[in-house]
């Protein structure tokens, strides 16, 4: 198959990834603008690919894991890493960054339109919080992805040594934190250097809504494959984050009143 056929096959095989990618590009374009979301996508993909390429060979930063290659010829691979896997870091990173900005920034409201007021684009607080939110997404995602043979993902990877968290090693989550930091830090530095953030500061809810919609999708799969213990833990994390986010949003109503 030529590259175009493989790309079409990848989209057909992983439609949920490209749906999330499309929603991410729309939300990110409204909040960050086209230049910034393009830069974010490229940075996130490159950092993600390097991290996955390295970890499958050296165990750094996630610990050792291997892609099965089961879908070779059906989806696009870059070396031994599925293209869609590294690509997903871009929207997962943005969802986390957007939610962190919402939780940290002052918010203004006009009717049901919520906008960030002077968001601290480059703050260390946003950086750390975004990295934590990035990891929490993987706490839900990885145990379910590891059981891909039980749903339509397929068994695309495995850990040679079974990890403590439902088969996932704790080193994986440490790796996600480091990679999340790297993505957001590099974007903050580039954004500041280029001066792109001076024009846009609004559309506060689109990214956070997508953060939670993605979690709902993962939770649905978790309960569908009857992993109830994982589901209860994941639902607890989801509920706490929703509660904190709703408190932030509701505080805007009380302030305006």
67-106: per-residue pLDDT in tens? 998 888 889 899 999 999 999 999 999 999 999 999 999 8
Contact call for residues 63 and 74 (beta carbons, < 8 A): no
pLDDT at 202: 60
pLDDT at 201: 54
Instruction: Quote the CA–CA distance of 199 and 29 in Å, as a whole number.
Output: 12
Contact call for residues 55 and 61 (beta carbons, < 8 A): yes
Q: How many CB atoms lie within 10 A of CB 15?
A: 11
pLDDT at 8: 86
Q: Is residue 27 helix, strand or coil?
A: helix
- Residues pairing with 247 in the sheet: none
Beta strand pairing status for 157-158 and 66-67?
antiparallel
Quick one: 79 exposed, middle or buried, by C-beta within 10 A (0-12, 13-18, 19+)?
exposed
Structural domain boundaries of the chain? 3-256
Instruction: Quote the CA–CA distance of 198 and 200 in Å, as a whole number.
Output: 6
Q: Is the pLDDT of residue 163 over 60?
A: yes
Instruction: Quote the CA–CA distance of 225 and 151 in Å, as a whole number.
Output: 7
What's the whole-number average pLDDT of the chain?
92
pLDDT at 256: 57
Taking the CA atoms of 219, 221, 227 and 230 in sequence, report the sign of the dihedral they define: negative
* pLDDT tens digits for range 1-27: 577 788 888 888 888 999 999 999 999
The structure tokens 């953060």 sit at: 211
């Amino acid at each position: 198959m030529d590259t175009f056929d493989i790309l079409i096959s990848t989209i057909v095989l992983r439609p949920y990834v490209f749906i999330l990618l499309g929603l991410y590009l729309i939300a990110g374009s409204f909040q960050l603008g086209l230049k910034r979301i393009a830069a974010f996508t490229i940075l996130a993909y490159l950092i993600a690919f390097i991290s996955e390429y390295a970890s499958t060979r050296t165990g750094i930063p996630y610990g050792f894991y291997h892609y099965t290659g089961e879908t070779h010829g059906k989806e696009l691979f870059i070396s031994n890493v599925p293209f869609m896997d590294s690509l997903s870091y871009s929207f997962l990173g943005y969802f986390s960054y957007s939610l962190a900005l919402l939780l940290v920034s002052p918010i203004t409201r006009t009717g049901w339109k919520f906008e960030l007021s002077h968001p601290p684009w480059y703050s260390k607080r946003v950086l750390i919080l975004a990295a934590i939110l990035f990891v929490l997404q993987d706490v839900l995602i990885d145990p379910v992805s590891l059981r891909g043979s039980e749903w339509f993902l397929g068994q695309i990877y495995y850990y040679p040594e079974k990890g403590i968290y439902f088969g996932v090693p704790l080193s994986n989550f440490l790796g996600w934190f480091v990679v999340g930091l790297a993505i957001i830090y590099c974007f903050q530095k580039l954004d500041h250097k280029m001066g792109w953030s001076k024009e846009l500061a609004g559309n506060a809810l689109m990214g956070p809504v997508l953060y939670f919609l993605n979690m709902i999708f993962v939770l649905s799969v978790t309960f569908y494959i009857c992993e109830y213990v994982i589901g209860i833990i994941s639902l607890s994390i989801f509920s706490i984050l929703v509660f904190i986010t709703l408190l932030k949003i509701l505080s805007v109503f009380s302030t305006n009143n």
